[in-house]
Amino acid sequence: MAATTLRALLSVSDKTDLVPFAQALVRKKFELVSTGGTRKALEAAGLPVIDISQYTGYPEMMDGRVKTLHPKVHGGLLGRLNLPADVAAMEGMGITPFQIVVVNLYPFVETISRPGCTLETAIENIDIGGPSMIRSAAKNHEYVTVVTSAAQYDRVLRALEAGGTSLELRRELAAAAFEMTARYDRAISNYMQSIVHPGGEAEEEHDFPPRLEFHFDRRAKLRYGENPHQRAAWYTDPNPPVGSLATAETLHGKELSYNNLLDLDAALQIVREFRQPAAAVIKHNNPCGCAVASSLAEAYTNADAGDPVSAFGSILGLNRPVDVATAEALCVPGRFIEAIIAPEYTPEAFSMLTTQPKWKTNVRLLKCPSMLDPRPISQDVRTITGGLLVQDRDDADDSQSNWVVVTARHPTANEHADLEFAWRVVKHVKSNAVLFAKHGQVVGVGAGQMSRLDSTFIATHKAAGRAVGGVAASDAFFPFRDGIDQLHRAGVTAVIQPGGSKRDQEVIEACNQLGIAMIFTGKRHFRH
């Protein structure tokens, strides 16, 4: 049966560019069949539209839950025009085939991502008719072109202008359609599993479902991975958390590398810790410098001074818009920065960074306006051979109400401020981690060593005498007093650590003997 009537079925939640696409279809002599809000949008644009109820002979029911689940709809999508039996069935039931189906789905993922989303709201945003139409059309792609994204409109229209969509294009669109419904169904499944135990009892909000699958979109193929012989690509969540690296926009510079992305994420997570102006200097996923101050320019200058040798070729995170004063500090001769992430750049600062220093054409400038949004960024996922490890992110509030001063001497007000600053930064340092700070500035970091004593030694070496009168933070407890003795030789006067060692009392007594104030937080911050 050769279709004498060209028909397109349109039913979309996202109406981006819908009207221009539909107008082009009408010019190509397509009749438009549509539903609910889509029909109203097309009629408002002056386009002729056949309501789905007019075509099926059945009204929409149950608040729109039932409108496209009808044989005249799915018969028009699934009918095989080369089979006489299918053609006869269609003719006998008054079914007209659809050549184009334009459908996208209720925004389920976006809905459940909103704060305060109720179960009732989530359930009502589970699309039933949409996936059914998409799957029918995709299955019958030999005869039907299925369009599931506004990004596909131009390509389909170009094909129609050239005489019609090819089987190759229809097959490609069908594959994209099945991927869309698979992702949609998996999101629903993950949500339902997150709220219900296999036995039917409600789970706590952060429990882990028995099955976990991920769907990410490839944003870029990278030049290589950690090393030139490793291939790599960057994938992002289709609905990334607010304030995450996936929401950042690259404004300038060379292509981002695998290592750039790792370090940018580390920089972003550190400066998100602070409400006052802050700067973090990252090298190999560790902060070699970090500072807070009354201005962003001062914070950056102090952060860079924390370890100026390591800061060469670093990644920089800033939590305020980059202004002229900060750009001037960045453009000091001899400084080289691989990439910067900040909420914004003033026009003058952007011009300075991209025209004045020697690295002007190379530096990557990224902006992330939502970086200070207080909402958590979800869970940590890491791969191991044959599987994944999933955990809550280490971003729970370290309430000072749980902190305990365990020494005879209490920290002074200045020491306490530095201890709080150091504690926020040390949890971003690879374990074993020991960090020295003074006046809101990191002055020495020991990271990733097999013993805490080694990390303390390295932090002392990096501080080069600047820790005198400063404080130290340790991501986990000191197992022996030797670490305290080493801190004392470095000039540290106050310490913050989780506590919890069998030899805590020995460590406390050492601090009392040396006049060091010490706080136990009760919370460990290992970062492997």
Q: Under a CB-based contact definition with an 8 Å cutoff, are residues 236 and 246 in contact?
A: yes
For residues 41-61, average pLDDT: 78
Residue 44 has pLDDT above 50, yes or no: yes
Taking domain 243-367, whether its CATH number is 3.40.140.20 is answered by: yes
Residue 199 has pLDDT above 60, yes or no: no
Helix, strand and coil in the chain, % to nearest 5: 40, 20, 40
Q: Which residues pair with 135 in a beta bridge?
A: none
What does the radius of gyration of the chain's CA atoms come to, in whole angstroms? 30
**Where in the sequence numbering do the catalytic residues fall?**
139, 284
For residues 34-42, average pLDDT: 84
One-character DSSP codes across 423-437: HHHHTTSPSS-EEEE
pLDDT at 411: 97
Where along the chain do its domains lie?
A: 7-194, 243-367, 400-520
Q: Do 7-194 and 243-367 fold alike per CATH? A: no
pLDDT level of residue 442 (50, 70, 90 thresholds): very high
In SS3 terms, 180-241 reads as: HHHHHHHHHHHHHHHHECCCCCECCCCCCCCCCCCCCEEEEEECCCCCCCCCEEEEECCCCC
pTM, two decimals, is 0.75
User: Which CATH fold topology does 400-520 show?
Assistant: Cytidine Deaminase; domain 2 (3.40.140)
Instruction: Please name the CATH architecture into which domain 7-194 falls.
Output: 3-Layer(aba) Sandwich (3.40)
Rounded distance, CA 403 to CA 393, Å? 21
pLDDT at 35: 83
Structure tokens given for 127: 């699309």
Per-residue model confidence as pLDDT tens digits over 402-439: 899 999 999 999 999 999 999 999 999 999 999 999 99
Rounded distance, CA 442 to CA 177, Å? 51
